[in-house]
Amino acid sequence: MPFNHQHVVVERGTRSGFPIVVAVHSTALGPAIGGCRLAVYGDWRDGLDDALRLSAAMTSKAALAGLPHGGGKTVVALPSAGTFDRRAVLHDVADVVEALGGVYSTGPDVGTGPDDMAVIGERTGHVFCRPSGSGDSSPATAAGVMAALRAVVQNRFGSAELAGRSFAVLGVGRVGAHLVRLLTAAGARVLASDVDGSRRTVAEAHGATWTDPLTCRTAEVDVLVPAALGGVLTATTVPALRCAAVAGPANNQLDAPATADLLHGRGILWAPDVVVSAGGIIHAIASELHHESPSQVAARITGIGDTLAGILEAARETGVTPAAAASRLAGFLAEPPAALAPV
Protein backbone atom coordinates (compact mmCIF):
# COMPACT_ATOMS: atom_id res chain seq x y z
CA MET A 1 0.00 0.00 0.00
CA PRO A 2 1.19 3.55 -0.63
CA PHE A 3 2.59 5.34 2.41
CA ASN A 4 0.24 8.18 3.15
CA HIS A 5 0.45 8.46 6.91
CA GLN A 6 1.46 11.72 8.48
CA HIS A 7 3.50 10.29 11.34
CA VAL A 8 4.19 6.82 12.68
CA VAL A 9 5.98 6.07 15.94
CA VAL A 10 7.23 2.65 16.92
CA GLU A 11 8.84 2.55 20.33
CA ARG A 12 9.99 -0.10 22.73
CA GLY A 13 8.03 0.62 25.90
CA THR A 14 10.58 1.77 28.48
CA ARG A 15 8.80 -0.13 31.29
CA SER A 16 7.17 -3.07 29.49
CA GLY A 17 9.64 -3.67 26.66
CA PHE A 18 6.65 -4.23 24.33
CA PRO A 19 6.41 -2.58 20.90
CA ILE A 20 4.16 0.48 21.14
CA VAL A 21 2.89 1.68 17.75
CA VAL A 22 1.12 5.00 17.33
CA ALA A 23 0.04 5.77 13.77
CA VAL A 24 -1.23 9.27 12.98
CA HIS A 25 -2.84 9.02 9.58
CA SER A 26 -4.10 12.56 9.10
CA THR A 27 -4.68 15.84 10.88
CA ALA A 28 -6.12 17.62 7.85
CA LEU A 29 -9.45 18.26 9.58
CA GLY A 30 -8.07 18.54 13.12
CA PRO A 31 -6.14 16.56 15.76
CA ALA A 32 -6.15 12.82 15.19
CA ILE A 33 -8.24 10.50 17.35
CA GLY A 34 -8.34 6.72 17.65
CA GLY A 35 -8.36 4.04 20.28
CA CYS A 36 -5.61 2.02 21.92
CA ARG A 37 -5.63 -1.66 20.99
CA LEU A 38 -3.99 -4.24 23.21
CA ALA A 39 -3.68 -7.52 21.34
CA VAL A 40 -1.39 -10.48 20.81
CA TYR A 41 0.49 -10.51 17.49
CA GLY A 42 2.72 -13.34 16.33
CA ASP A 43 4.99 -10.70 14.84
CA TRP A 44 5.01 -7.06 15.99
CA ARG A 45 5.04 -6.02 12.32
CA ASP A 46 1.49 -7.35 12.07
CA GLY A 47 0.62 -4.92 14.85
CA LEU A 48 2.23 -2.13 12.83
CA ASP A 49 0.16 -3.17 9.79
CA ASP A 50 -2.98 -3.12 11.89
CA ALA A 51 -2.17 0.33 13.25
CA LEU A 52 -1.61 1.66 9.72
CA ARG A 53 -4.91 0.28 8.40
CA LEU A 54 -6.95 1.12 11.49
CA SER A 55 -5.66 4.69 11.69
CA ALA A 56 -6.51 5.33 8.03
CA ALA A 57 -10.02 4.01 8.69
CA MET A 58 -10.32 6.42 11.64
CA THR A 59 -9.71 9.37 9.28
CA SER A 60 -12.70 8.27 7.18
CA LYS A 61 -14.75 7.50 10.28
CA ALA A 62 -14.23 10.95 11.80
CA ALA A 63 -14.86 12.73 8.50
CA LEU A 64 -18.06 10.77 7.77
CA ALA A 65 -19.24 11.41 11.33
CA GLY A 66 -18.85 15.14 10.77
CA LEU A 67 -16.15 15.51 13.42
CA PRO A 68 -13.32 18.05 12.99
CA HIS A 69 -10.67 15.38 13.51
CA GLY A 70 -8.26 13.13 11.69
CA GLY A 71 -7.51 9.49 12.33
CA GLY A 72 -4.91 7.72 14.44
CA LYS A 73 -4.52 4.46 16.31
CA THR A 74 -2.36 2.93 19.00
CA VAL A 75 -1.45 -0.75 18.91
CA VAL A 76 0.46 -2.50 21.66
CA ALA A 77 1.73 -5.71 20.11
CA LEU A 78 1.73 -8.22 22.96
CA PRO A 79 4.15 -11.06 22.24
CA SER A 80 2.04 -13.75 23.95
CA ALA A 81 -1.24 -14.28 25.78
CA GLY A 82 0.53 -14.48 29.17
CA THR A 83 0.08 -12.05 32.04
CA PHE A 84 1.85 -8.71 31.99
CA ASP A 85 2.10 -5.52 34.02
CA ARG A 86 -0.88 -3.61 32.66
CA ARG A 87 -0.05 -0.31 34.35
CA ALA A 88 3.47 -0.40 32.93
CA VAL A 89 2.11 -0.93 29.40
CA LEU A 90 -0.48 1.82 29.76
CA HIS A 91 2.11 4.28 31.11
CA ASP A 92 4.35 3.41 28.16
CA VAL A 93 1.46 4.22 25.82
CA ALA A 94 0.76 7.46 27.70
CA ASP A 95 4.37 8.63 27.33
CA VAL A 96 4.33 8.09 23.56
CA VAL A 97 0.98 9.88 23.24
CA GLU A 98 2.15 12.77 25.45
CA ALA A 99 5.34 13.17 23.41
CA LEU A 100 3.18 13.79 20.33
CA GLY A 101 2.01 16.98 22.02
CA GLY A 102 -1.70 16.79 21.21
CA VAL A 103 -1.45 15.86 17.53
CA TYR A 104 -3.20 12.63 18.57
CA SER A 105 -5.54 11.64 21.40
CA THR A 106 -6.26 8.07 22.36
CA GLY A 107 -9.30 6.23 23.67
CA PRO A 108 -10.56 2.69 24.27
CA ASP A 109 -10.45 -0.05 21.64
CA VAL A 110 -10.24 -3.83 21.49
CA GLY A 111 -8.59 -4.96 24.74
CA THR A 112 -8.92 -1.67 26.64
CA GLY A 113 -11.68 0.15 28.51
CA PRO A 114 -12.43 3.27 30.57
CA ASP A 115 -10.35 2.16 33.59
CA ASP A 116 -7.33 1.78 31.32
CA MET A 117 -7.95 5.31 30.03
CA ALA A 118 -7.79 6.55 33.63
CA VAL A 119 -4.35 4.95 33.98
CA ILE A 120 -3.18 6.51 30.70
CA GLY A 121 -4.64 9.79 32.01
CA GLU A 122 -2.19 9.72 34.91
CA ARG A 123 0.53 10.69 32.43
CA THR A 124 -1.20 12.52 29.58
CA GLY A 125 -4.31 14.63 29.08
CA HIS A 126 -4.71 13.45 25.50
CA VAL A 127 -7.12 10.63 26.31
CA PHE A 128 -10.89 10.18 25.97
CA CYS A 129 -13.43 8.02 27.80
CA ARG A 130 -12.00 8.09 31.32
CA PRO A 131 -14.64 7.18 33.92
CA SER A 132 -14.33 10.82 35.06
CA GLY A 133 -14.92 11.95 31.45
CA SER A 134 -17.43 10.49 28.99
CA GLY A 135 -16.74 6.95 30.25
CA ASP A 136 -17.73 3.74 28.48
CA SER A 137 -18.34 4.44 24.79
CA SER A 138 -19.87 1.04 24.00
CA PRO A 139 -23.56 1.96 24.62
CA ALA A 140 -23.14 4.86 22.17
CA THR A 141 -21.42 2.64 19.61
CA ALA A 142 -24.31 0.17 19.92
CA ALA A 143 -26.88 2.96 19.54
CA GLY A 144 -25.15 4.03 16.32
CA VAL A 145 -25.19 0.46 15.04
CA MET A 146 -28.94 0.25 15.74
CA ALA A 147 -29.52 3.42 13.68
CA ALA A 148 -27.42 1.88 10.91
CA LEU A 149 -29.31 -1.43 11.04
CA ARG A 150 -32.61 0.40 10.61
CA ALA A 151 -31.20 2.15 7.53
CA VAL A 152 -29.96 -1.19 6.19
CA VAL A 153 -33.27 -3.03 6.54
CA GLN A 154 -35.09 -0.01 5.12
CA ASN A 155 -32.82 -0.08 2.08
CA ARG A 156 -32.91 -3.86 1.68
CA PHE A 157 -36.50 -4.69 2.62
CA GLY A 158 -38.37 -1.39 2.28
CA SER A 159 -39.16 -0.96 5.98
CA ALA A 160 -37.02 0.18 8.92
CA GLU A 161 -38.93 -2.10 11.30
CA LEU A 162 -36.60 -4.50 13.15
CA ALA A 163 -39.34 -6.66 14.72
CA GLY A 164 -39.51 -10.04 13.04
CA ARG A 165 -36.13 -9.60 11.29
CA SER A 166 -33.28 -11.99 11.99
CA PHE A 167 -29.71 -11.07 12.96
CA ALA A 168 -26.53 -13.07 13.59
CA VAL A 169 -24.26 -11.21 16.01
CA LEU A 170 -20.65 -12.31 15.67
CA GLY A 171 -18.88 -11.35 18.90
CA VAL A 172 -20.56 -10.69 22.24
CA GLY A 173 -18.02 -8.30 23.79
CA ARG A 174 -18.84 -4.86 25.15
CA VAL A 175 -20.65 -3.60 22.05
CA GLY A 176 -21.99 -6.99 20.91
CA ALA A 177 -23.74 -7.59 24.23
CA HIS A 178 -25.57 -4.24 24.00
CA LEU A 179 -26.59 -5.08 20.44
CA VAL A 180 -28.04 -8.45 21.39
CA ARG A 181 -30.08 -6.76 24.12
CA LEU A 182 -31.31 -3.90 21.92
CA LEU A 183 -32.17 -6.19 19.02
CA THR A 184 -34.19 -8.67 21.06
CA ALA A 185 -35.91 -5.75 22.81
CA ALA A 186 -36.89 -4.47 19.36
CA GLY A 187 -38.53 -7.81 18.62
CA ALA A 188 -35.82 -9.23 16.36
CA ARG A 189 -34.67 -12.85 16.33
CA VAL A 190 -31.00 -13.01 17.34
CA LEU A 191 -28.37 -15.67 16.90
CA ALA A 192 -25.10 -14.97 18.75
CA SER A 193 -21.61 -16.42 19.09
CA ASP A 194 -18.19 -15.59 20.44
CA VAL A 195 -14.81 -17.34 20.41
CA ASP A 196 -14.98 -16.87 24.20
CA GLY A 197 -17.54 -19.46 25.40
CA SER A 198 -18.02 -17.59 28.68
CA ARG A 199 -20.02 -14.95 26.74
CA ARG A 200 -22.84 -17.46 26.26
CA THR A 201 -24.50 -16.58 29.59
CA VAL A 202 -24.85 -12.90 28.77
CA ALA A 203 -26.05 -13.63 25.20
CA GLU A 204 -28.73 -16.03 26.42
CA ALA A 205 -29.73 -13.72 29.28
CA HIS A 206 -30.51 -11.09 26.62
CA GLY A 207 -32.65 -13.55 24.67
CA ALA A 208 -30.28 -14.67 21.93
CA THR A 209 -29.85 -18.22 20.63
CA TRP A 210 -26.22 -19.27 21.16
CA THR A 211 -24.24 -21.00 18.45
CA ASP A 212 -20.63 -21.54 17.32
CA PRO A 213 -18.86 -18.79 15.30
CA LEU A 214 -18.90 -20.67 11.96
CA THR A 215 -22.63 -21.47 12.17
CA CYS A 216 -23.29 -17.86 13.16
CA ARG A 217 -21.25 -16.43 10.30
CA THR A 218 -22.94 -18.65 7.69
CA ALA A 219 -26.49 -18.54 9.14
CA GLU A 220 -29.45 -17.79 6.91
CA VAL A 221 -30.43 -14.45 8.42
CA ASP A 222 -31.42 -11.00 7.23
CA VAL A 223 -28.32 -9.29 8.60
CA LEU A 224 -24.93 -10.56 9.76
CA VAL A 225 -23.52 -8.22 12.43
CA PRO A 226 -19.71 -8.47 12.83
CA ALA A 227 -18.98 -7.18 16.33
CA ALA A 228 -15.52 -8.55 17.05
CA LEU A 229 -12.16 -8.37 15.30
CA GLY A 230 -11.73 -7.32 11.68
CA GLY A 231 -10.91 -9.29 8.55
CA VAL A 232 -14.06 -11.45 8.78
CA LEU A 233 -15.03 -10.85 5.14
CA THR A 234 -12.62 -12.51 2.72
CA ALA A 235 -12.60 -14.28 -0.66
CA THR A 236 -13.04 -17.51 1.34
CA THR A 237 -15.80 -16.45 3.75
CA VAL A 238 -17.98 -14.37 1.40
CA PRO A 239 -19.06 -17.30 -0.85
CA ALA A 240 -20.33 -19.14 2.26
CA LEU A 241 -22.51 -16.27 3.56
CA ARG A 242 -26.28 -16.77 3.57
CA CYS A 243 -27.33 -13.33 4.79
CA ALA A 244 -28.96 -10.52 2.83
CA ALA A 245 -26.80 -7.80 4.37
CA VAL A 246 -23.75 -7.30 6.59
CA ALA A 247 -23.58 -4.37 9.01
CA GLY A 248 -21.77 -4.18 12.33
CA PRO A 249 -19.32 -2.27 14.50
CA ALA A 250 -16.14 -4.35 13.94
CA ASN A 251 -13.40 -2.20 12.40
CA ASN A 252 -11.83 -3.21 9.06
CA GLN A 253 -14.26 -6.03 8.27
CA LEU A 254 -12.97 -6.45 4.71
CA ASP A 255 -9.60 -8.19 4.40
CA ALA A 256 -8.99 -6.23 1.19
CA PRO A 257 -10.89 -3.50 -0.69
CA ALA A 258 -11.79 -5.93 -3.53
CA THR A 259 -13.88 -8.00 -1.12
CA ALA A 260 -16.53 -5.27 -1.34
CA ASP A 261 -16.99 -6.24 -4.99
CA LEU A 262 -17.41 -9.92 -4.06
CA LEU A 263 -20.20 -9.00 -1.64
CA HIS A 264 -21.82 -6.75 -4.23
CA GLY A 265 -21.58 -9.53 -6.82
CA ARG A 266 -23.43 -11.87 -4.49
CA GLY A 267 -26.16 -9.31 -3.93
CA ILE A 268 -25.21 -8.90 -0.27
CA LEU A 269 -25.54 -5.33 0.98
CA TRP A 270 -22.44 -4.32 2.97
CA ALA A 271 -22.69 -1.25 5.18
CA PRO A 272 -19.21 0.33 5.47
CA ASP A 273 -17.91 -0.18 9.02
CA VAL A 274 -16.42 3.33 9.12
CA VAL A 275 -19.98 4.68 9.09
CA VAL A 276 -21.67 2.02 11.26
CA SER A 277 -19.15 2.11 14.12
CA ALA A 278 -18.89 5.88 14.66
CA GLY A 279 -21.20 6.14 17.72
CA GLY A 280 -18.32 5.76 20.19
CA ILE A 281 -16.16 8.56 18.87
CA ILE A 282 -19.19 10.79 18.31
CA HIS A 283 -20.22 10.32 21.95
CA ALA A 284 -16.71 10.87 23.33
CA ILE A 285 -15.79 13.87 21.23
CA ALA A 286 -19.16 15.65 21.16
CA SER A 287 -19.59 15.38 24.93
CA GLU A 288 -15.99 15.82 26.15
CA LEU A 289 -14.64 18.37 23.65
CA HIS A 290 -17.71 20.16 22.42
CA HIS A 291 -19.73 19.90 25.66
CA GLU A 292 -22.91 18.96 23.83
CA SER A 293 -25.96 17.89 25.84
CA PRO A 294 -26.96 14.20 25.94
CA SER A 295 -29.87 14.89 23.58
CA GLN A 296 -27.61 16.69 21.07
CA VAL A 297 -25.19 13.75 21.21
CA ALA A 298 -28.04 11.27 20.77
CA ALA A 299 -29.27 13.19 17.72
CA ARG A 300 -25.79 13.04 16.18
CA ILE A 301 -25.65 9.29 16.80
CA THR A 302 -29.07 8.76 15.22
CA GLY A 303 -27.67 10.74 12.28
CA ILE A 304 -25.46 7.74 11.49
CA GLY A 305 -28.60 6.15 10.03
CA ASP A 306 -29.17 9.15 7.74
CA THR A 307 -25.53 9.23 6.63
CA LEU A 308 -25.64 5.52 5.83
CA ALA A 309 -28.98 5.82 4.02
CA GLY A 310 -27.47 8.57 1.86
CA ILE A 311 -24.42 6.46 1.05
CA LEU A 312 -26.50 3.39 0.17
CA GLU A 313 -28.73 5.52 -2.03
CA ALA A 314 -25.74 7.15 -3.76
CA ALA A 315 -24.25 3.71 -4.35
CA ARG A 316 -27.47 2.47 -5.90
CA GLU A 317 -27.85 5.54 -8.11
CA THR A 318 -24.29 5.51 -9.38
CA GLY A 319 -23.98 1.73 -9.65
CA VAL A 320 -20.99 1.44 -7.30
CA THR A 321 -20.51 -0.51 -4.08
CA PRO A 322 -21.43 1.14 -0.76
CA ALA A 323 -17.71 0.92 0.07
CA ALA A 324 -16.84 2.99 -2.99
CA ALA A 325 -19.60 5.50 -2.26
CA ALA A 326 -18.41 5.87 1.35
CA SER A 327 -14.78 6.32 0.42
CA ARG A 328 -15.73 8.88 -2.23
CA LEU A 329 -17.66 10.87 0.37
CA ALA A 330 -14.94 10.46 3.00
CA GLY A 331 -12.28 11.62 0.56
CA PHE A 332 -14.37 14.65 -0.28
CA LEU A 333 -14.99 15.50 3.38
CA ALA A 334 -11.41 14.85 4.55
CA GLU A 335 -9.93 17.02 1.80
CA PRO A 336 -8.08 19.92 3.46
CA PRO A 337 -9.67 23.26 2.65
CA ALA A 338 -8.29 24.61 -0.61
CA ALA A 339 -5.52 27.16 -0.12
CA LEU A 340 -6.54 30.72 -0.81
CA ALA A 341 -5.45 31.95 -4.21
CA PRO A 342 -2.60 34.46 -3.90
CA VAL A 343 -3.72 38.02 -4.53
Is residue 29 involved in binding ligand PHE (CB under 6 A)?
no
What is the amino acid identity at position 295?
Answer: S
Site for ligand PHE (CB under 6 A): how many residues?
A: 15
What is the SS3 assignment for 247?
coil
Ligand-binding annotation for 175, yes or no, is: yes
Is residue 281 involved in binding ligand PHE (CB under 6 A)?
yes
Ligand-binding annotation for 300, yes or no, is: no
Is residue 108 involved in binding ligand PHE (CB under 6 A)?
yes
One of 13, 35, 226, 272 touching ligand PHE (CB under 6 A): 35
61: annotated active-site residue: no
What is the amino acid identity at position 50?
Answer: D
Scanning 40-48, 74-82, 102-110, 204-212 for contacts with ligand PHE by CB under 6 A, the matching segment is 102-110
Is residue 27 involved in binding ligand PHE (CB under 6 A)?
no
What CA–CA distance (Å, rounded) separates 206 from 32? Answer: 36
Is residue 70 involved in binding ligand PHE (CB under 6 A)?
no
Residue with Cβ nearer ligand PHE (16 or 137): 137
Question: What is the closest distance, in whole angstroms, from the C-beta atom of residue 166 to ligand PHE in the complex?
Answer: 27
- Cβ-count burial of 333 within 10 angstroms (0-12 exposed, 13-18 middle, 19+ buried)? middle
SS3 assignment for 142-174: HHHHHHHHHHHHHHHHCCCCCCCCEEEEECCCH
Question: What is the closest distance, in whole angstroms, from the C-beta atom of residue 244 to ligand PHE in the complex?
Answer: 26
One of 21, 52, 76, 129 touching ligand PHE (CB under 6 A): 129
Is residue 280 involved in binding ligand PHE (CB under 6 A)?
yes
Q: Closest Cα to residue 272, out of 117, 143, 144, 131?
A: 144
* Cβ within 8 Å of residue 33, ≥6 positions away: 58, 62, 67, 69, 70, 71, 72, 104, 105, 106, 107, 128, 281, 284, 285
Question: What is the closest distance, in whole angstroms, from the C-beta atom of residue 220 to ligand PHE in the complex?
Answer: 30
Question: What is the closest distance, in whole angstroms, from the C-beta atom of residue 35 to ligand PHE in the complex?
Answer: 3
Is residue 72 involved in binding ligand PHE (CB under 6 A)?
no
Is residue 107 involved in binding ligand PHE (CB under 6 A)?
yes
* Cβ within 8 Å of residue 158, ≥6 positions away: none
Task: Judge contact between 281 and 33, C-beta under 8 A.
Answer: yes
Q: Closest Cα to residue 77, out of 161, 126, 17?
A: 17
Ligand-binding annotation for 174, yes or no, is: yes
Residue with Cβ nearer ligand PHE (59 or 327): 59
- Which residues in the 246-265 window bind ligand PHE by CB under 6 A? 251
Residue with Cβ nearer ligand PHE (13 or 35): 35
What's the sign of the alpha-carbon dihedral 60, 62, 64, 66? negative
Is residue 94 involved in binding ligand PHE (CB under 6 A)?
no
What CA–CA distance (Å, rounded) separates 125 from 107? Answer: 11
What are the catalytic residues? Answer: 73
Annotated binding-site residues read 171-176
Note the residues at the interface with ligand PHE (CB under 6 A): 33-35, 61, 107-109, 128-129, 137, 251, 277, 280-281, 284
Annotated binding-site residues for NAD(+) read 171-176
